[in-house]
Chain A
């Protein structure tokens, strides 16, 4: 019962936002803050009750072996916290613009939030798939209605691309379902079914499920939808996509891939890890030569998520813990990066870095806070990025030293492209586009400040964050080892 509000609060907020016309944004923000409060309360109870997993289950379509089962352990809690923190930030970030038909926009955003929250706590394969897909619908329509030039083709490509992966994941789930003794989609039953398969079949299931995640994250060479989609997406849409939505895939690796076919991962995982590392390097290099700041963030996101994927698939405590922390950091940093984009673009009308320059001298506050965000992204010690990336690389290094070393390069390359973007936009001479630049509004300062505080806060004292998921991660890995 404790878990239902995680779905109901966003859902009801979506409905009330739809019916509240111009005030939709306040309703949505209020709802998401309420949700955050509830999640923090859950965190408190979770910690005080000795980190007991909270479950909820009622039969739903028993004929198909589908139950409405939810489960919250440390890993799910981490992701729930992520979406609960990021969501109000995204909503608040959208306050600086007046979107047409905003009641629809905010309703869709909250709907997506509900679906994403659901995917993080689903304990039934069918239910997970449902939430996974449902989350796609609102963001598709957000991009189609409020997106930029060329959105029709790009969003369709995005949708089809995602569906390719999703349907193969569904096939894999069906296959597992048929191997459960009493024909059910329940999490544990799928785990047992998956583990009982011979290694080759585990490999096939692994491939099917990983395809879905690899497209969603995305990983080279399945990433072509992503820069385009981020580029045309309205800023809140882009924040949702990179801040929360792609974590559905990385979370999926932890919950719906590694424990389902552990032998398959052990046997064939090296390919996926290799691909992830290639993806890191590839995206980093591409980022270096991007001329547009938003595309740069898009590729940077591919690089970071590649590291998360590689670390998670190493299937050791450091890798998975690092991945979880990095998901949280990446969510916060994405909001920061896209918000800086939004601030610059609303003032200058361009995000092409060559046309920008010297913004720091006009708006030193933005310069300073952007610097902190950049430092967080490049994983400087004492920022949130460091904890995650360090652990990820340690995990990966334990798994395979060569791949670990290559992945380590990503930090250096990250510094190159992030600092370059900082240098081009913030330093140097003031370019024409930046001339009629108006000062930050209070809303903008508040949000950026919040992002910076979170970056530094998590970076300096990550222990409580790590403690949330540690027990669950260890248990998960013990479960596999048996």
Chain B
């Protein structure tokens, strides 16, 4: 409860600070708020707290909340200049914090109504943020597309929830699970259709093919910090919610739908990676890369039986950090339209930034000793354990393609540079990149610790 209150109050404080002219105070305050939520989540990792039957902070939501906080802190820290921009009139802090509160609701919901609220609270500020550069046509297009399609998918979500409610007479996830076993055949098919529609809405949110079409356009058009927010916080929250949803319906998924979801995994992995291979715009490339990670995460959580949560926590953390690193450097290079050639010679002009990008790319490509390797490994192992050998082969193929396009960026950085040395990074940004690199390098080594931490928490929960 405290966690949600802290987040919402900080959002309100951001609104107030706007007309009290205290905006300079907001960054430390926001980071402090996220730190305290992170601390609370860690302190209470084993305990369970139900919030009026709508949400619950427990062994499931606390690890995800922690991951979100880590990503949020890094995001606020790395992209703080976004908020310092004088031209900006909208209060981005409030929007970002409210959206973050929505993410917190999404990872902790136990009631489908709460899920819907969370999704909307998360999304609406992001629609606005996507269009925050008012004079930019691409930004407007992105915001518009995101909003329209987002609203469209919300409709499916609502429809799905309504059908589930119609069949079971409740919004409560626990009660729904309990009622799944003995349903009349009519209700059975209602539930199944409801399940499919809800999954489709989720697939839209996490950008799984063929529901992914909005992602490249929106990611490309939005300002870099907002894109970074979308590919990290938004995606992780949506995945956590999806996983909870899967858990609730475990065992009630008919075989054909299971195959359809495996089909989604396959399509996502293939489409994203094949198309990414020929992208020249780095933002688009990163968009497809993000979709490809969606494919891996979806494969992981759908095929992993018992500790899918643990897998997803680890994967999201690692993927989020790598994405933030890459987007941070991208933002430093060029504010908006970014061609791969912008990275040319970066190794000679700004070594720290270049090394950070190399780390991020290697991690996303899943190459040891970087953290992304264990993440991808666990996905492949999960698919193999589920007897989906073909999906493992698809995953391998996807990884190979991914290496190809990630390495394109690395190779360009090694070329001699033609431009003058770039401006220096500020100390705080250097520290940001150091921290990210350390996390990417170290997470592998301490993987045992991270994983056991979440597993312990799960053990407490059960």
Contacts and interface: CB of A to CB of B under 8 A. Distances in A.
A and B touch in the complex (CB under 8 A): yes
A170 B379 CA distance: 12
Nearest to A65: B381
A251 B393 CA distance: 26
Given A130-B368, A130-B369, A171 B448 contact: no
B404 A160 contact: yes
Contacts of A145: 414
Contacts of B146: none
Nearest to A126: B377
B452 interface: yes
Contacts of B374: 61, 64
A62 B310 CA distance: 14
Interface stretch (B22-30, B203-211, B216-224, B395-403): B395-403
B414 A170 contact: no
Interface residue SS majority, chain B? helix
Interface string B361-390: 010000111000110011011001100000
Contacts of B307: 63
A63 B396 contact: no
A204 to B, nearest CB: 9
B367 A133 contact: yes
A270 interface: no
Interface in A130-185: 130, 133-134, 137, 144-145, 152, 155-156, 159-160, 163-164, 167-168, 170-171, 174-175, 177-178
A137 B362 CA distance: 9
B451 A63 contact: yes
B392 interface: yes
A95 interface: no
A275 to B, nearest CB: 22
A167 B368 contact: no
Interface residues of B, number: 31
B32 interface: no
Contacts of B378: 64
Contacts of A134: 368-369
A461 interface: no
Given A64-B378, A160-B400, A171 B452 contact: no
Contacts of B384: 171, 174-175, 178
Nearest to B365: A163
Q: How large is the interface on A (under 10, 10 to 19, 20 to 34, 35 or more residues)?
A: 20 to 34
A60 interface: yes
Contacts of B415: 152
A242 to B, nearest CB: 23
Contact of B403 (A64, A160, A168, A170): A160
Contact of A62 (B380, B393, B403, B448): B448
Contacts of B392: 171, 174
B16 interface: no
B411 A152 contact: yes
A63 B455 contact: yes
A87 B268 CA distance: 45
Interface in A269-305: none
A19 to B, nearest CB: 15
Contacts of B377: 170, 174
B432 interface: no
Nearest to B401: A160
A59 B447 CA distance: 12
B407 interface: yes
Interface in B413-438: 414-415
Nearest to B383: A174
Contacts of B367: 133, 137
Nearest to B347: A145
A373 B216 CA distance: 58
Contacts of A174: 377, 380-381, 384, 392
Contacts of B381: 64, 174, 177-178
A63 B452 contact: yes
A61 B380 contact: no
Given A133-B367, A174-B380, A178-B385, A63 B400 contact: no
A148 to B, nearest CB: 14
B212 to A, nearest CB: 24
Contacts of A168: 396
Contacts of A178: 381, 384-385
Given A144-B414, A159-B407, A163-B403, A62 B452 contact: yes
Contacts of A159: 403, 407
B343 to A, nearest CB: 13
A443 to B, nearest CB: 29
Interface in A412-441: none
Given A62-B448, A134-B369, A174-B381, A156 B407 contact: yes
Nearest to B444: A130
A237 B298 CA distance: 40
Contacts of A61: 374, 447-448, 451
Contacts of A164: 396, 400
A296 to B, nearest CB: 28
Nearest to A115: B369
Contacts of B451: 61, 63-64
Contact of B396 (A137, A152, A167): A167
Nearest to B382: A174
A163 B399 contact: yes
B248 to A, nearest CB: 24
B429 to A, nearest CB: 23
A133 B367 CA distance: 7
A164 B399 CA distance: 9
A156 B405 CA distance: 10
A316 to B, nearest CB: 33
A59 B452 CA distance: 12
Interface in B268-301: none
A155 B415 CA distance: 14
- What 4 A-B pairs come out closest when comparing CB atoms? A61-B448, A167-B396, A133-B368, A174-B384
Given A61-B374, A133-B373, A164-B396, 14 more contacts: A60-B448, A62-B448, A63-B307, A63-B448, A64-B374, A134-B369, A137-B362, A152-B415, A155-B411, A156-B404, A164-B400, A171-B384, A174-B380, A174-B384
Interface of B: 307, 310, 362, 367-369, 373-374, 377-378, 380-381, 384-385, 392-393, 396, 399-400, 403-404, 407, 410-411, 414-415, 447-448, 451-452, 455
23 contacts: A60-B448, A61-B451, A63-B310, A63-B448, A63-B452, A64-B381, A129-B368, A130-B368, A130-B369, A133-B369, A134-B368, A134-B369, A145-B414, A155-B411, A159-B407, A160-B403, A160-B404, A164-B400, A167-B399, A174-B377, A174-B392, A175-B384, A177-B381
Interface of A: 59-64, 66, 129-130, 133-134, 137, 144-145, 152, 155-156, 159-160, 163-164, 167-168, 170-171, 174-175, 177-178
